Structure 1
Amino acid sequence: MYTLIELQKKLLPDMLSVMQKRFQILRSIHFMEPVGRRTLAQVLGFSERVLRSEVEFLNEQKLITIKTNGMSVSEQGLSVLEGLSGMMREISGINEMEEKLKELLNLQEVVIVPGDSDETPWVKQELGRACAKRMKKRLVGKNTIAVAGGSTMAAVADMISADFIGDSDTVFVPARGGIGEDVKNEANSVCAKMAENTGAKHRVLYVPDQVSKEVYQSFIKEPIIKEVLHLIKNADMVLHGIGDANVMAKRRNTKEEDMKLITNGHAVGEAFGYYFNEAGQVVHKVPTVGLQLQDLQKIKHVIAVAGGSSKAKAIKACMKSATKSTVLITDEGAATKMIGY
């Protein structure tokens, strides 16, 4: 038996394409509001003429409001977005892609959000929102959540609010030290933002991400650092992003001899200071203070968040070393490339 969506695809394909286009426009207005028509046309890649007619239709249906400072989605429009979201995932084939990617990567769950964060900046917010939703489902009783740094983790922090932790007793800890990038994206800052947004507690780990073996041994003897490291390694949940190997190596100001190992090893992805080639093999490891790859084996919930078609190889490579309990949250752009559509 055909589902209703399958029947509509066969008999009314034009109607479905129009619905998808209007849903995309409405969703984009919601994430960018208030937004002008010209800006929206540029983001979506539509001509202003095409967008004008669609905007007029949405306005006539009272799904948006138009003011001098731009367009916004009305309450009725929000209801339509919420009501159609599940159907649009089925129409676009995202549900099927999730199952294929879960099987391909041998993971507990794969969540795909529509769009490509390389092309549309607000898709990263959707990745953050999807992560927050999965986190909330897994919070029971007392929880320690270890969080890595990065712009994607910062987007997750922006998407969680006071109702996130509910009755649970939650503390956020940085998964590792800083790497000298933008301070607001370092793990300590992301943890502080999550704690601030939820009313939870957090701990800090003010040590460099990369240290020599001698300095590392000195650090871990300090009582405060030792206590935080114990919390990190015994976390109930870990949140982390995935980086492009070359981008991360340059950001770390990697030494020339180490850069050769990364380049000659054909590394494509990075997570927790480990550089992976396409086969998922570790070709270089940065000495870091904090969570190590082997620590993930005993952590109940691991959520990896990364998107953008440019990161497809990096995500696929890093996920080959992931635990079966890992949940991957990615976007349509990366998922399409990983599956090979």
Structure 2
Amino acid sequence: MYEFNELVKISKMYYEMGMTQKEISEVSKHSRPTISRMLEAAMERGIVRVQIEYPLDSIYELEEEIKNKFHLKKVFVAPTFVEEDTLIVQDVGKALANYLTEICRPNDILGISWGTTLGVVSNYLPKRRINGLKIVQLNGGIPVNSYSNGSFGLLEKFSEAFEGQFHLLSAPTIVDSEEIANSILSDSNIKQVVDLGKKANIALFGIGRTHYESVLYKSGYFKTESYDRLISKGAVGDICSRFFDINGDLVDSELNRRTIGLQLEDLQEKEHCIAMAVGAKKVKAVYGALQGNYLNTLFVDEHLARKLLSYKEE
């Protein structure tokens, strides 16, 4: 295998000195094919890292169309450079992370839900101390099986980025009965966190699609037959673990009474009510959320934006 120092030398000659592989082969003991393989090895061993820098601007035309059609305060539409889901969600998450840093002010209360989408946002939060900022969990996040939803880690990342105090809602998101939910909500510590979520002037959440790949389903909150019933009732998506149909109406009042956390109507009063969704497959979930007026700020990708504008209820 190639020696570490030799890989560093070849990499510096190629990437920092701008020498061609032919030129490097002429001043070293290696052939051009070997130089090529060494550069690949340097990349694999982490000696060389490629970072692509580019401005991430919203597609203005789509942004304005969505904003006007659905009467929103702010819309960001990330362009799709390559057809790769991981890269697309990273671009949307990065844009949202930067926006959060712009709008958060001292003594604000930032309420966040949990899930895969917000996990991406947390990875791109720049470090910025915001005095007096409180970060509160909007819906219960304790899973009922071994599948991790990342709720606690998410709070930690937001807290570290903004150097703010975080408040964990230490409860499952859905319980077996309304009586259990009422009992949990009567606990003084739980009530304090829920009340703080209601006071939050900024709410941040993903829009979930009612599908068997959902984090809620994977976390064990539903048996297959109960999830089937939810879908048969017309559920297209959820926000903060509360399910709605294509018109934005709650689909199961009994389930809603067993859910711990912020009510959907509480979101409608927020100064900044920010949702993120990625992928054309989420068009019904996002459309239903918009019909329910559960958000005033939307971060999406180009494909989903176009689907939203052309969507017609079936």
TM-score of the two chains, using structure 2 as the length reference: 0.74
Q: How does 1:48-87 map to 2 (within 5 A)?
A: 68-70=41-43, 72-73=49-50, 78=53, 81-82=54-55, 85-86=56-57
Shift, 1:229, TM fit: 1.5
Give how far 1:136 is off. 2.0
State the SS of the aligned residue for 2:307: helix
Q: Deviations over 1:261-296 (max 9, x none)?
A: 423223222212332222333222442111110111
Larger mean Cα displacement after TM superposition, 227-236 or 279-288: 279-288
Alignment of 1:151-166 (within 5 A): 151-163=116-128, 166=129
CA distance in 2, matches of 1:103, 1:159: 29
The structural deviation recorded for 1:210 is 0.7
Correspondence for 2:249 among 277, 281, 286? 281
In the TM superposition, residue 232 of structure 1 has moved relative to its aligned partner by 1.2
CA change 1:254–1:184 in 2 (3 A) is closer
Given the alignment, which residue of 267, 286, 293 partners 1:315?
A: 286
Residue of structure 2 in register with 1:326 after alignment? 296
1:146–1:173 contact (8 Å) kept in structure 2: yes
For residue 185 of structure 1, give the secondary structure of its aligned residue in structure 2: coil
**CA spacing shift, 1:179–1:224, aligned 2, 3 Å:** closer
2:140 is matched with which residue: 177, 189, 214? 177
Counterpart of 2:15?
Answer: none
**Which of these residues, 188, 211, 216, is aligned with residue 223 of structure 1?**
188
Q: Against the structure 1 CA distance between its residues 221 and 265, is the aligned structure 2 distance closer, same or farther, given a 3 Å change threshold?
A: closer
| Deviations 1:208-267, CA, capped at 9 Å, x for gaps | 111222112222222222221221111121100011112336334424664354232232
Q: Which moved more, 1:118-127 or 1:248-257?
A: 248-257
* CA distance in structure 2 between the partners assigned to 1:68 and 1:222 by the alignment: 57
Rounded Cα–Cα distance in structure 2 between residues aligned with 1:173 and 1:207: 13
- The CA deviation at 1:298 is 2.3
Aligned to 1:187: 151
Amino acid at match of 1:222: D
Which amino acid in the other structure matches residue 176 of structure 1? N
Rounded Cα–Cα distance in structure 1 between residues aligned with 2:243 and 2:168? 25
Letter in structure 1 aligned against 2:231: T
Distance 1:69 1:329 in 2: 37
Q: Deviations over 1:24-72 (max 9, x none)?
A: xxxxxxxxxxxxxxxxxxxxxxxxxxxxxxxxxxxxxxxxxx7644475
- Aligned partners of 1:182, 1:326: CA distance in 2, in Å? 35
AA of the residue aligned to 2:151: A
Partner of residue 310, structure 2:
340
SS in 1 for 2:222: coil
1:160 alignment partner, SS class: coil
Q: 1:194 is aligned with what amino acid?
A: F
Q: Given that residues 147 and 187 in structure 1 are in contact (C-alpha distance below 8 angstroms), is that contact kept between their aligned partners in structure 2?
A: no
For the residues of structure 1 that align with 2:83 and 2:178, how far apart are their CA atoms?
37
Paired letter, 1:332: E
After superposition, the Cα gap between the structure-2 partners of 1:67 and 1:198, relative to the gap in structure 1 and judged at 3 Å, is: farther
1:271 matched residue in structure 2: 239
**Unmatched segments (≥5 aa) in structure 1:** 1-65
Give 2:227's aligned amino acid: M
RMSD in angstroms over aligned alpha carbons?
2.7
Instruction: Provide closer, same or farther for how the CA distance between residues 200 and 67 of structure 1 changes in structure 2, counting only shifts above 3 A.
Output: farther
Alignment of 1:21-32 (within 5 A): none
Compared CA separation, residues 118 and 315, structure 1 to 2 (3 A): farther
Contact preservation (8 Å) 1:144, 1:170: yes
Amino acid at match of 2:298: L
1:267/1:222 Cα in 2 relative to 1: closer, same or farther (>3 Å)?
closer
- Counterpart of 1:185, as a letter, is N
> Structure 2: any 5+ residue segments left out of the alignment?
1-38
2:167 to 164, 186, 203: 203
Pick one of 203, 210, 214 that aligns with 1:245. 210
- Quick one: percent identity of the two aligned structures? 27
How much has 1:137 moved relative to structure 2?
2.2
Counterpart residue type for residue 295 of structure 1: D
Encode CA deviations 1:165-215: one digit per residue, 9 max, x unaligned. x44321211111126277663433311121123322111111111122211
- The whole-number CA distance in structure 1 between the counterparts of 2:308 and 2:126 is 32
TM-aligned CA distance change 1:182 to 1:318, over 3 Å = farther
Structure with greater strand percent: 1
Compared with structure 1, are the counterparts of its residues 202 and 308 closer, same or farther at alpha carbon in structure 2 (3 Å cutoff)?
Answer: same
CA distance, structure 2, for counterparts of residue 73 and residue 262 of structure 1: 45
Aligned to 2:265: 294
Count residues in correspondence: 261
1:75-111 superposed Cα distances (whole Å, 9 cap, x missing partner): xx73xx34xx55xx6xxxx210111111222211110
